Chain A
């Protein structure tokens, strides 16, 4: 697994989501590994803006031709943005998982939870051991 597939500026969950922390907000998506495992993404079910989520709670769904996979929130807080463009172009999750394939933005409510997230090295180790 090359470093480019696990950017060092992001935080990760063991469910293969990533979070980019920007002040009191986090932009959230799924990792390169997650999209590769899913295969061709053909549908993304997004939550409503304003919805409150808890850490680990399912907030949406990604479907490939073959499989359905739930999305789990890496942090507790309020969803402030969703990437509506994924509805029309779900394949962006495959081509740009860390860029245009971002899924939601959360204003997180408990910064202590940040310590629970994995850094790139810990996530890389998790993938090696899986």
Chain B
């Protein structure tokens, strides 16, 4: 039996099509993926992301403990800021990608992928030197409010001055009378917030956002458009674009790896890989022939398999067939060409600058 978020009934009442995602019964779409995608790009969309996990480190030494586990550096940010980071294995591959919230040096909250919740917690428990992690996943529901009109909508429902919450910053407050962490983060490429609240407040918060958002044309959005939105930004998806066998440097996520900070798991492997040179890279490409690239399709150069597509779709906003995949470094620069094998056909593709979506 798939797990259900506190909003499960609300999704069904809205006519969502539900699918099993990482063991959770989640909405894939309510109306149409493209309509929901466009709502987020042009107005505002709501996502139930309560299936994501949360792990807390609390007590003296929490910051140092977490800094030994993640690739980014919590010492470089202030209280009230968050960082995107990797939990890396000894080889520099990903256990998961996470967002770590610094409430204080003695309280860090880490948001992890739904598909990795149990694995991550076990891994953190095993590797944490200092403060022990506490699984808070069942104590938080999470609603993402994303789109150019997200800030206006959230501001009408809270006394917290959201203009003071910069990107990758957060505050604690009340939204529609529900206690929440108001975090200016997201996975769509648009401005917006991720609101963490207690599970029993989730329905009230969701309904308040839907009601108040009528004037913005708010739409409830499913996992379908979450995937197309993030693909247009070339944001990595764990299990597709990043996993335990590709390193952070190969994934083009060197910016979340702070090799100059004190030791963290995976650092030595990445230092060595950097010195030796990275042999394959994750690139964004467009098809120049007909078709749509999909996860798992082979990437060919002169007929020989040299890599693999990790994500792909027809980008609803960019209106092109776009893909992400690993290729040998010599094919990774902008303008490089290769083929993607689609049902036995070699379809030409060209490496392009990412994100695919160019913001004005």
Contact = CB atoms under 8 A, between A and B. Distances in A.
Nearest to A39: B33
B294 A68 contact: yes
Interface in B261-296: 290-292, 294
B227 A45 contact: no
B44 interface: no
Interface of B: 28-29, 32-34, 37, 224-225, 227-228, 290-292, 294, 313-314, 316, 321, 343
Contact of B314 (A45, A61, A65, A87): A65
Contacts of A65: 33-34, 37, 224-225, 228, 313-314, 316
B122 to A, nearest CB: 31
Nearest to A87: B290
Contact of B291 (A39, A43, A66): A43
Interface of A: 39-40, 42-43, 45, 61, 63-66, 68, 87
Chief secondary structure at chain B's binding surface: mixed
Contact of B343 (A40, A61, A64, A87): A61
Contacts of A66: 28, 33, 224, 227-228, 313
Contacts of B343: 45, 61
30 contacts: A39-B29, A39-B32, A39-B33, A39-B224, A40-B32, A40-B34, A40-B316, A42-B34, A42-B292, A42-B314, A43-B290, A43-B291, A43-B314, A45-B290, A45-B291, A61-B343, A63-B292, A64-B33, A65-B33, A65-B34, A65-B37, A65-B313, A65-B314, A66-B28, A66-B224, A66-B227, A66-B228, A66-B313, A68-B294, A87-B290
A42 B227 CA distance: 15
A43 B34 CA distance: 13
Contacts of B314: 42-43, 63, 65
A40 to B, nearest CB: 4
Q: Which of A43, A66, A68: most chain B Cβ within 10 A? A: A66
